[in-house]
Chain A
Amino acid sequence: MQARPDGVISEHSKKQTIDRSQTRILAFLNIVGVGMLGRFEEQNIDDMNPEMAAYMVTRLFPDILVGIKSAHYWGPDFTQVDQAVKAGTIANVPVMVDLGEHHPPLSIEELFMKHLRPGDIWTHTYANAPKDREVPVDENGKVKPFIFEAQKRGIIFDVGHGGGAFHFAQAVPSIQQGFIADVISSDLHTGSMNGGMKDMTNLISKFMAMGLSVQDVILRSTWNPAKVIKRPELGNLSVGSVADVAVFSLQKGDFGYTDVRAKKLKGTQRLVAELTIRAGRVVWDLNGVASQNWDAKP
């Protein structure tokens, strides 16, 4: 899912990237009309138009747009979130919030209980920058009680690892105390692809190193995200679904997983993507399981 870099003006991006990729690309539409053009543009309340954003979702690209995104806002209140929720309500789609940086930080309890609806998503769950954004784990290492209430209420917690938004200091105690993100996601971009995140396979392996089972990480990277974006035809292998399949091997050895502060967690195993099938076609084959030997007799 692409937390959409451009908002209302998106026909061009669709042609240049979405239509040409083998990967299925869906998108959250940014509530800001120009999308993630720059931090200043993202503060522009006059460019947050819930009706226009909702039209894009319901009338123009219903098969591609799966929600509304609110991100990077600095203002003293929840204005951007509220505009996004307005759009999400008109279009009947979830809202994903990257709560940005507010000084002083806004209350995430208020965000979860008063502004977001069940099914809405809070991302960068395990980031640790409390001066900019309130964190789930307090200074004593305890997960705040309202976090569990919020999850019960139906607020979706997304990892959104990125280049700056995943710290073992938040993730490890959270998982130990039963606060586990509903969706594991990468926040893939140039700032994350060569850092601690690397790719989804490494990321779900990192969660296994923190104690989750392979079933747990597969759930949170397939069926859970499919449900969250209301695309129940995806993320499962029911008869009749599109044949999007991943085959992994589990490597045993001495591995290290890092967070965005270059802290390392050791692990004894790592998943390896052996084969990827998209709509029934092999699109990645690491060791030639779908090949014949070069010197095989015809």
Chain B
Amino acid sequence: MRVSLFTGNYGKSLIILLSLVFSYSLAAQEIDLLIRNGHVIDPRNNIDEPMDVAIAGGKILKVAKGIPVTGVKKIIDATGFFVTPGFIDPHTHVFVGTNQGFADGFSCVSPDDITLKAGITTVVDAGTSGWRNFPLFKKNIIDRSTTRVLAFLNIAGGGMTGFPSEEDMNDMDARMTSLVIKQYPDIIVGVKLGHYRGKEWTPLERSIEACEIAKVPFFLECHLPEYPLDELLKRMRPGDIFSHTYCTASDRECILDENGKLKSSVLEAKNKGVLFDVGHGGAMFHFDIAIPALKQGLMPSSFGSDLHRSSMNSGMKNMLETMSKFLNLGLSLKEVINTATWSTASEIKRNDLGNLAAGAEADIAIISVRKGTFGYIDSKNNKLTGDRRLEAEMTIKAGKVVWDMNGLGAKSLAVK
């Protein structure tokens, strides 16, 4: 005769007892970190108002008004600041090493040196590595960085090894590239092409082929002087990303015609779902292109910085500075935050990032908007004068404070 534990009066009491214990333990889940009194902007979840953010076990526990402080291990008072998901920079070169140049090279930059002090918790490397040296990139940089490092894989097997090795069509293998993407599905988010000086479309075709097999987006870089813009945009698919959007360059046709109008091929691409990344860099962002382009409705879907050794000390500086630029170019703060978080997360098909939903990894930026007179510099060394600059007060990665500009999270005051 089978006896159920839960039948009869004894069983009913047991059910009630177990429910009480269970719900008590849920209600009493300890909050590790509570960010109070900040203005939360979480575009994915439609939040743009004062809210408290509770973090437990490295994840968002909840975002709500007036979360009780009893039992909270640590409280951050974010009065006067905005609390947002940690920013995502989809265009960086962080495969730093000792070679000349980019791949495992000195032209790259170690991500933690730049990101955490700018509210950036995730970067995507823009194809500095290819399928051959991705494991080295992972071992040397990705696994050792506090910043979450994701990657576009270069269609060139060795990644950015410089001219002419990067142009070797014999080392552009769609199958191998797609196999390595499938080997690291949590890290590799797409395929990148750049730096090809020939007329052949083969490199682009191989890139798209790899994307089709691995079901990932294509990321278009620069230095493809023989690829006409309209043909390029025609071959790009919905969800593919066009970088270095707002510039004039000798090896890239401008998105504007001689009269400053957005070319029809650009509008068609935008309408079919091609996404446009800023890709600022040391040379690829110009106010005299960006301002008319924005006026005509070509908004960026991401603020890629093109971080590398030459851009980090130029007008670009870091992605937070790029965000401030766009704030002063007419985007609202909410639009800027959306572009830097949810829009970029969607672009790389990482819906787990760029938002503060319960259960999401607790990657958070606490920023202030400083008022004053500021100069913003483009890649022609031209200046735009603005009245606001974003500053990173605190950055939190997986629930841990990794940057604290003014000691918001300090344990106590020093005795003076």
Residues of A within 8 A of B (CB): 12, 16-17, 20, 22, 168-169, 172, 190, 193-194, 198, 254-259, 261-266, 283-296
Contact = CB atoms under 8 A, between A and B. Distances in A.
Contacts of B376: 288
B208 to A, nearest CB: 36
B contact patch SS: mixed
B385 interface: yes
Given A168-B414, A263-B410, A293 B385 contact: yes
A256 B98 contact: no
A199 to B, nearest CB: 9
B410 A258 contact: yes
B98 A257 contact: no
Contact of B414 (A12, A259, A287, A292): A259
Contact of B106 (A20, A168, A296): A20
Given A263-B413, A263-B414, A265-B414, A294 B384 contact: yes
21 contacts: A169-B414, A190-B110, A190-B113, A193-B113, A194-B116, A262-B410, A262-B412, A265-B414, A265-B416, A266-B413, A285-B315, A287-B373, A287-B375, A288-B315, A288-B375, A288-B376, A291-B382, A293-B385, A294-B287, A294-B291, A294-B380
Contacts of B146: 194
Nearest 4 interchain pairs by C-beta: A288-B375, A256-B407, A264-B410, A288-B383
Given A194-B402, A264-B414, A292 B381 contact: yes
A169 B110 CA distance: 33
Interface string B307-325: 0000001010000000000
A294 B416 contact: no
Contacts of B412: 262-264
A291 B375 contact: yes
Given A190-B112, A291-B377, A293-B385, A264 B407 contact: yes
Contacts of B116: 194
B375 A255 contact: no
A20 B100 CA distance: 9
Given A258-B404, A291-B377, A284 B382 contact: no
Interface of B: 98, 106, 110, 112-113, 116-117, 146, 287-288, 291, 313, 315, 373-378, 380-385, 402-416
Nearest to B375: A288
B394 to A, nearest CB: 11
Nearest to B395: A194
Contacts of B373: 287
B374 A287 contact: yes
A231 to B, nearest CB: 24
A194 B106 contact: no
Given A264-B410, A265-B413, A294-B380, 11 more contacts: A168-B415, A190-B113, A193-B112, A256-B410, A261-B411, A263-B413, A264-B411, A264-B413, A287-B373, A288-B383, A291-B377
B410 A172 contact: no
A289 B375 contact: yes
Nearest to B404: A258
A290 B112 CA distance: 29
Contacts of B374: 287
A56 to B, nearest CB: 21
A266 B291 CA distance: 41
A198 B117 contact: yes
Contact of B378 (A172, A283, A294): A294
Contact of B408 (A193, A256, A292, A296): A256
A255 to B, nearest CB: 5
Most buried by B among A172, A198, A283, A285: A285
B383 A293 contact: yes
A261 to B, nearest CB: 7
Most buried by A among B384, B405, B410: B410
Contacts of B413: 263-266
Nearest to B377: A288
A288 B380 CA distance: 11
Contacts of B117: 194, 198
A269 to B, nearest CB: 12
A16 B403 contact: no
A273 B416 CA distance: 27
Contacts of A284: 313
Given A194-B117, A265-B413, A283-B313, A255 B406 contact: yes
A275 to B, nearest CB: 11
Contacts of A257: 406-407
B363 to A, nearest CB: 15
